[in-house]
Structures are given as structure tokens and as C-alpha cells.
């Protein structure tokens, strides 16, 4: 019975990990699926407000900051703290967390490459938010190049 339980739990964890394996990190469900493609539609006013309310909550900010610290600690242990050779998914997730914490109403997708190139795509509400993207992204250890495919647009009414 113990072997069956271990097999069952292992299968569930393996299936969950495989189902969650996505090379893109998104700030919202409405963010574009392909960062290399043309920018997505401007999000609705309701979606923007919901994302902003979530992102500015203290609980969410604490969670994002904890996630960023955890990624840095993991990199320090597994990669001797080096900026090079970081896992693409870890790099993309850390950049996404940084952007989500600082651009709360953006609909952004992040994709990272092994060489440290990060592509950010999607839509933000204001030009000042667009201007922050390269600076915020380069603050993450391991980011060497930033490609920004983000447009500025006002939320569409529904």
C-alpha cells in the first residue's frame, strides 16, 4: 500500500509539473500568448481595474517580493550566484514578478532565452509604464538584452 501511495503522489506531482510547464510568464490571463507577435488588444476597463486592485494589495506585493527573493536564493545556491546560465523559466518568472509589482495594470507576457535576452510583450495603460520596462527588467540578475513589444493604450469599454 505504501508503494502505491508513493506512486500515486509521484504521478500527480509529475502530471502537475508537466501541465504547468510553460516558457512564458504572464502578468494576467489576458496577456498575449506569444511575446514575439504583434502587441495584443487593449484590455477592458474592468480587467484593468481588477488587475490593478490585485496588484496594489499589500498581500500581493508581499507575495511578489517573496517570490523574487526565493528566485534569487535558488539562483545563488544552484548557480553559485552567477548571472549567467540561469534557467529560462526562472528568469522569465522573476522578470514577470518584478514587472507585475511595479506595473500593476499591465497585461504583459515575458519570455526569456538562455543567452539572457528577455522579450516583453503586451499592453500598458500609460507611457510612463512603458518607459519603466527596460530598467525594471535589467535589474534582474542574468538579463542582458531586453526586447520590448509593448504598446500603450487605454482600456477598452465593455
pLDDT in tens, 43-90: 666 766 666 666 667 787 788 778 777 877 777 777 676 666 778 888
Cα dist from 84 to 74, 77, 118, 134, whole Å? 14, 13, 13, 19
Rounded to whole angstroms, how far apart are CA atoms 42 and 46? 12
The whole model's pTM is what?
0.59
Looking at the predicted structure, is the pLDDT value of residue 158 above 90?
no
Amino acid at each position: 500500500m505504501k508503494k502505491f501511495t508513493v506512486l500515486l503522489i509521484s504521478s500527480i506531482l509529475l502530471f502537475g509539473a508537466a501541465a504547468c510547464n510553460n516558457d512564458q510568464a504572464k502578468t494576467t490571463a489576458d496577456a498575449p500568448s506569444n511575446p514575439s507577435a504583434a502587441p495584443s488588444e487593449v484590455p477592458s476597463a474592468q480587467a484593468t481595474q481588477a488587475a490593478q486592485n490585485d496588484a496594489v494589495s499589500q498581500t500581493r506585493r508581499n507575495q511578489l517580493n517573496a517570490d523574487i527573493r526565493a528566485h534569487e536564493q535558488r539562483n545563488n545556491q544552484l548557480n553559485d550566484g552567477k548571472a549567467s546560465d540561469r534557467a529560462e523559466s526562472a528568469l522569465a518568472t522573476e522578470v514577470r514578478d518584478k514587472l507585475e509589482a511595479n506595473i500593476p495594470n499591465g497585461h504583459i507576457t515575458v519570455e526569456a532565452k538562455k543567452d539572457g535576452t528577455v522579450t516583453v510583450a503586451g499592453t500598458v495603460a500609460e507611457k510612463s509604464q512603458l518607459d519603466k520596462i527596460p530598467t525594471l527588467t535589467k535589474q534582474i540578475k542574468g538579463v542582458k538584452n531586453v526586447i520590448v513589444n509593448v504598446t500603450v493604450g487605454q482600456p477598452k469599454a465593455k
